[in-house]
Structure 1
C-alpha cells in the first residue's frame, strides 16, 4: 500500500483570544484580547498523545490553519450561519434520541424529520484525509460521531448529480479491491434494517447491487451503491473489507469535501467495523486554536492504562449516539444551583454540534451565573446566542472558569477562553425541557482528549491533551 499521510482538519472559525498565563484562586482567568489569532505558524508542541500498542493515531489540524498541508481555497462560513445549521442538526439529533427513531419507521404527522440517518450534515466541522482503494486514492471526509454509514462521491458522477469537490472523485474502476455488495446478502439486508437501504440497483456484470440512501436533516441527500473496499488510515494501517457508500447522486447544500466517515455506534460505522482490532474505542483532541495540532486515534490509549483520564458511564439507549449523564456545573469556582432532575434527559457527546445544548433549568442557572461573573463587560445582541459581549477597548478580559461534572464524579475544566467563548459569546444554548436530551458541543471539548470506549461502556476525558 502506498504511503499516505492522514490528516484531520477543523473548520472552527478563528477565535479572538490567546490564553494568558495561569489564573487565580477564585476561579477566574485573565486573557488578553487580540485582533486575530496569533501569527500563522503551526505548532505541535502542545500535543500529548499517549497511544498504546493497539491504536492507530493521526494528526488533527485546522482545515484553514497553518498546520494544514495545503491551504484550502474555500472559506469557512460565518459564525451566524454555522449556528443556524448547528441548531438544525441538534434538533434532529435530539428528536431521534427522544423518540427512539433508529431502525424504525414513523408516520406521525407532527414530525417531518426523515427516518434515515442525519443531523444537519452542513454543520459538521472536521474532516480527515484517508486512502480508499488499491492503490489508495486520497479522500477528504467529514468525521461525525452522530453518523454511522460512511460514503464518498464516486465516478461516474457529473456536475448535475454531484457537488464540486477539491479532490478527484473516487474511481472504483481503478481499484483492484473494490467490489459492490450484492443485493441478496446479509450485509444488504442489515443495511435496510438500519434504515439506510436504497433498494436494488442494476449494476455492471448483470448482478443486482445493494443501494444505499441517506437523507439529512438539512435536506441533503446521498444515494448510490453499498460497496466493499480497502480503507487506508495511515501508512501501513489498512482496514480490509470496509463497507461504505459509493455515492452517485447528491442533493442539497454541501461543502467541498469528498464524503463522510461515520464514527457512530451502529454496525455500519468505522468504529464497529474495526471493533475486533480496536475494541470499539476511539478518541480525539480538538485544539483550542487553528495554529495548534490535535489528533484522532482508534483504540484505547496505552491498552488498559488510561491514567490521566476521568471516566463516566456511557448510556446506549440508541445505537448511533454516545450519551452521558451530567450532574453539575461550576462557574468561577462556585457550584450553580441545579436540581438533579434538570439533567435527567442526558447529554449526547457530538463532534458535529458547535455549541452545547443545555436543558432549560440548567441553562438558565448557567446563564445567570456567567452573566454575573462577566458583569463588567457590555452585552450585545446576537441572532442565535443570548450571552454575547463587546470587548472593544479592553486589553484584557477576565473570564470565569467553567467546569462540568458527570455521573461517577468525572469533572472536566473547560479551556479558558476557547472552550467557553466562541466569537465573544457563551458557547451554550438552551435545548428544551429538562427531561429532553442535551448535547455536549465541540467548543466545550477543545483541548480535551475525549475517549469513546464503548467496549467498556464508558467515556473518558483527559485534560490538556492538545
Structure 2
C-alpha cells in the first residue's frame, strides 16, 4: 500500500523486514521506466542508494526476494570528472560495488523522483537478507531526502512498526501539525557531518533514573546517531553497565538465556503467558523524554536491545540509537530547524 498526502508529501508503507529475512525496515518502491518494484532497506545512517542489477552472477550477488531482472541507465549519474563506479563498505563488513546510475524512482502512482541517482550493484558481499538493496536517508547530496528536497523540502519522518503484522510509513516532507512531538536539538559537527545526531542525557528503568551523569553519554561534537539501519543501540561502557544492572534486577523473575552476539542480556521466556518488562525511557537534551514501546522497543528476540562499547583512553566516539528503540514512534528529522521530534504510538 502506497498513499499520497498533499499535506505531508510522499508517504510510503514501511514494514519490518520479515519478508526479506531481516530485522531491518523496508519499503517497496519502483525503479526504472516502467517501474519495477524493489524491496529495499531504509537507512538513516547511510547516504547512498543502491540495488542489485544485472549482470550479477550467483557468486557476485546474494539471493533476493524480488526478481533480479533490471538494467538501468548506467553512467547517467556521472557529472564532470566524477567516476562512474562506486564501492561501499559498512561497519558490519558488508559491501557493494557497481556502476553509478540514474533512472526514475517511483514512490507512488504519479509520484516520482526523476533522474534519481543510485548505485547499480554488480558485486555484493556480507549480506544475509533478501532485500534488493538499500536507500540512504542521511544528510548528503546523494540521499533520497536530498534528491527529493526540491519537491518535499529536506524534512522527513518515519514510523517503524512494532511487529511484523503491523504497518508503518516513510514520509518525505514536514507534517503540517507537529504539536504531538517531543523535540530535541539535532547537532551538527565537524565529525561525520552527514549523520543525524542527538544528545542523550539520561536513561530510566522502571521509572528510576540511572545514577549516570549526562557527561557519560557521547556529547559535544559527537552524540548519539539516530540510525534506522542498525538494530541494536550502542552505549558507552559505563552507562551500559548501569542500564544492564538495573534491567537485570527488574527481570530477576525470569530465567536468563545464552547471549546472542552482540547483546548479552537475554531471557528464556518460553512458557510465560504474561511477561512484565520494566519500562525504559530515554531523556534527551532539552528535556524530551521518550518512553520506549513496551516490550517491542525494549526486547528483541528475548534480549535487551542495547550493547556496550569501549573507547581507548582519550578518544571520543558516537553512540547509536538503533531501530528497536525507535519502534512505534514517528521520528521526525528536520535539518532546516536543526531538531528531531518523537511522536508516540504513531503506528
Q: TM-score, normalised by structure 2?
A: 0.89
Q: Distance in 1 between matches of 2:70 and 2:206?
A: 54
The unaligned stretches of length 5 or more in structure 2 are none
- Corresponding residue for 1:428? 306
Q: Is the 8 A contact 1:347 1:440 kept in 2?
A: yes
- Corresponding residue for 2:322? 441
Confirm whether residue 374 of structure 1 aligns to residue 251 of structure 2.
yes
Q: Shift in Å at residue 409 of structure 1?
A: 0.9
1:250-289 map, 5 Å:
250-289=124-163
Confirm whether residue 306 of structure 1 aligns to residue 178 of structure 2.
yes
Q: Distance in 2 between matches of 1:391 and 1:159?
A: 39
- Corresponding residue for 1:363? 240
Confirm whether residue 463 of structure 1 aligns to residue 336 of structure 2.
no
1:159-170 map, 5 Å:
159-170=58-69
Q: Shift in Å at residue 285 of structure 1?
A: 0.9
The superposition leaves residues 410-448 of structure 1 with CA deviations (integer Å, 9 ceiling, x where unpaired) of: 110001111112222221111224943211111111111
- Extract structure 1 runs of 4+ deviating beyond 6 A: none
Bigger proportion of residues as helix:
1
1:452–1:220: structure 2 CA closer, same or farther, 3 Å change rule?
A: same
| Root mean square deviation of aligned Cα | 2.4
The unaligned stretches of length 5 or more in structure 1 are 8-48, 65-71, 78-123, 190-198, 200-209
1:277–1:370: structure 2 CA closer, same or farther, 3 Å change rule?
A: same
Confirm whether residue 181 of structure 1 aligns to residue 76 of structure 2.
yes
Confirm whether residue 388 of structure 1 aligns to residue 273 of structure 2.
no
- Corresponding residue for 1:101? none
The superposition leaves residues 13-59 of structure 1 with CA deviations (integer Å, 9 ceiling, x where unpaired) of: xxxxxxxxxxxxxxxxxxxxxxxxxxxxxxxxxxxx9x662411122
Residue 415 of structure 1 is aligned with which of 293, 304, 310? 293
- Corresponding residue for 1:125? 24
Who wins on radius of gyration, i.e. which is larger?
A: 1
Bigger proportion of residues as strand:
2
Q: Match of 2:215, SS?
A: helix
The superposition leaves residues 120-173 of structure 1 with CA deviations (integer Å, 9 ceiling, x where unpaired) of: xxxx71222111112111122222111112112223333343333332335346
Q: Shift in Å at residue 182 of structure 1?
A: 7.0
Q: Distance in 2 between matches of 1:394 and 1:263?
A: 39
Confirm whether residue 60 of structure 1 aligns to residue 19 of structure 2.
no
- Corresponding residue for 1:338? 212
Residue 153 of structure 1 is aligned with which of 38, 42, 52? 52
Q: Distance in 1 between matches of 2:276 and 2:93?
A: 42
Q: Match of 1:181, SS?
A: coil
1:341–1:154: structure 2 CA closer, same or farther, 3 Å change rule?
A: same
Q: TM-score, normalised by structure 1?
A: 0.67
Q: Is the 8 A contact 1:6 1:128 kept in 2?
A: no
1:465–1:165: structure 2 CA closer, same or farther, 3 Å change rule?
A: same
Q: Is the 8 A contact 2:16 2:24 kept in 1?
A: no
Q: Distance in 2 between matches of 1:252 and 1:359?
A: 26
Q: Match of 2:114, SS?
A: strand
Q: Is the 8 A contact 2:15 2:26 kept in 1?
A: no
Matched residue count = 338
Q: Is the 8 A contact 1:52 1:300 kept in 2?
A: no
1:368–1:158: structure 2 CA closer, same or farther, 3 Å change rule?
A: closer
Q: Is the 8 A contact 1:419 1:446 kept in 2?
A: yes
Q: Is the 8 A contact 1:343 1:435 kept in 2?
A: no
